[in-house]
């Protein structure tokens, strides 16, 4: 079966004992690892217990299909239920997983850790269609879910945050859950104890390389710099950034431009229009955004947002390589940016 939304959190807190296997997959590798860790700890509180936790690779399971069932049926020397984790899982282990779920020996909880799996994935379809297994998708935090993570992490450190600081953090985090938490922990250390985070605190402390690269990509796309856009995109892919994280970063940037362009239709100049944004852009990027507002009308920005949304849907549903779909859209955006808005039209 597949879980989504609020049901995921409930399952993570108290997994159904009837569930013998959980597939944790998605483009947010940090969130995948966090959820695998939480599920492991729900069975074995000591994450360093070598008798109750065993780690396998997908390649090893493929070469020795009986290994999965053997480990799941094994009894821990120290007693207690065991956890069997299979890393880098994919369609290559689908048949082995199916055999195990049809005859699940022992009582161990089996956790499959995987990257992004399309809707046509045989492993994903197998897990979603069977009662004693669960599929947990892990997509990049955004919007309300990302703000909830920010508030939760800061609250655990005795901190609260001003709304503009939360908005700035949400705009610069979210591509990877572990990286998000790491940056928020760094912010807590910077604050030095309980208190309230101001926008200046967030700007001074948080600014991971991946977020900066995503910002560079957004700027290049909006300015029509195709060479820089493609070079930055390739770098992001090499660093493990998912196409979905790239698309959502672009969506945030073009949404802000669209809001500013709307203000210009009401008579504001580019500088005044940018001040409408909450939080306002950092002075280092404000000049670039003023130039972008010359290139894009509100109508064309709306079309760009439609394209980005359609691309995200295609990445999740068509089964085609998400990296290639994303790259094609970025080429379309940079070409569109090369056509400056007609004089006098906003």
pLDDT (tens digit, 9 = 90+) per residue, 132-158? 999 999 876 665 678 888 999 999 999
Give the DSSP H or E segment for 249.
Answer: helix 243-264
Mean pLDDT of 253-282: 88
Q: What is the pLDDT of residue 144?
A: 64
Name the region of 240 (left: φ>0; alpha: ψ -120 to 50; beta: rest): left
Residue 342 has pLDDT above 70, yes or no: no
pLDDT band at 207, cuts 50/70/90?
Answer: low
User: What beta strand segments (E) does 90-232 contain?
Assistant: 109-113, 133-137, 159-161, 195-197
Which CATH number is 143-205's, of 3.10.50, 1.20.1260, 1.10.8, 3.30.70? 1.10.8
Between β-strands 21-25 and 195-197, what pairing exists: parallel, antiparallel or unpaired? unpaired
Q: Is the peptide bond before 288 cis (omega within 30 degrees of 0)?
A: no
Burial of 163 (0-12, 13-18, 19+ CB in 10 A): exposed
- Global confidence as pTM: 0.57
> What pLDDT does 222 receive?
95
The H or E element containing residue 84 is strand 83-87
Q: How confident is the model at residue 211 (pLDDT cuts 50, 70, 90)?
A: low
What pLDDT is stored for residue 191 in this prediction? Answer: 93
Share of the chain above pLDDT 70, in %: 93
Residue 313 neighbours by CB under 8 Å, 6+ apart: none
* Predicted local distance difference test score (pLDDT) of residue 285: 79
pLDDT in tens, 20-50: 999 999 877 888 999 999 999 999 999 989 9
Contact of 187 with 203, CB cutoff 8 Å: no
Rounded CA gap, 17 and 126, in Å? 19
Distance between CA atoms of 68 and 100, rounded to whole angstroms? Answer: 8
**Average per-residue pLDDT for the chain:** 88
Asked if CATH classification 1.20.272.10 holds for the domain at 209-337, the reply, yes or no, is yes
pLDDT given for residue 346 in this prediction: 45
Tens of pLDDT along 89-102? 999 999 999 999 99
Task: Answer whether residue 70 shows pLDDT above 60.
Answer: yes
How many angstroms separate the CA atoms of 150 and 127, rounded? 31
Into which CATH architecture does domain 6-137 fall? 3-Layer(aba) Sandwich (3.40)
Q: Where are the domains of the chain?
A: 6-137, 143-205, 209-337
For residue 345, the model assigns a pLDDT of 44
């Amino acid at each position: 079966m597949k879980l989504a939304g609020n049901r995921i959190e409930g399952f993570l807190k108290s997994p159904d004992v009837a569930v013998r296997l959980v597939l944790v997959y998605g483009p947010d590798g940090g969130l995948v690892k966090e959820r695998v860790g939480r599920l492991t700890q729900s069975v074995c509180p000591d994450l360093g217990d070598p008798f109750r936790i065993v780690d396998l690779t997908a390649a090893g399971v493929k070469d020795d299909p009986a290994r999965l069932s053997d480990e799941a049926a094994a009894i821990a020397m120290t007693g207690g239920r065991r956890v069997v984790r299979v890393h880098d899982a994919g369609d290559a282990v689908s048949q082995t997983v199916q055999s195990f779920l049809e005859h699940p020996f022992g009582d161990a909880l089996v956790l499959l850790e995987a990257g992004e799996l399309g809707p046509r994935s045989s492993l994903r379809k197998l897990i979603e269609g069977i009662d004693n297994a669960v599929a947990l998708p892990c997509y990049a935090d955004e919007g309300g879910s990302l703000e909830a993570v920010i508030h939760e992490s800061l609250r655990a450190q005795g901190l609260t945050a001003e709304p503009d600081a939360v908005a700035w953090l949400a705009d610069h985090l979210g591509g990877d859950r572990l990286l998000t938490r790491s940056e928020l922990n760094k912010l807590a250390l910077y604050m030095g104890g309980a208190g309230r985070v101001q926008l200046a605190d967030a700007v001074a402390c948080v600014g991971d390389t991946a977020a900066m690269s995503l910002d560079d990509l957004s700027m290049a796309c909006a300015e029509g710099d195709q060479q820089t856009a493609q070079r930055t995109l390739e770098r992001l892919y090499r660093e493990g950034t998912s196409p979905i994280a790239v698309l959502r970063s672009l969506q945030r940037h073009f949404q802000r431009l669209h809001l500013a362009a709307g203000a210009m239709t009401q008579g504001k100049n580019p500088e005044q229009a940018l001040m409408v944004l909450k939080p306002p852009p950092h002075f280092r990027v404000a000049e670039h955004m003023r130039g972008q507002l010359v290139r894009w009308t509100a109508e064309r920005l709306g079309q760009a947002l439609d394209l980005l949304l359609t691309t995200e849907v295609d990445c999740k549903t068509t089964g085609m390589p998400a990296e290639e779909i994303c790259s094609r859209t970025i080429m379309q955006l940079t070409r569109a940016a090369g056509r400056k808005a007609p004089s006098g039209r906003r």
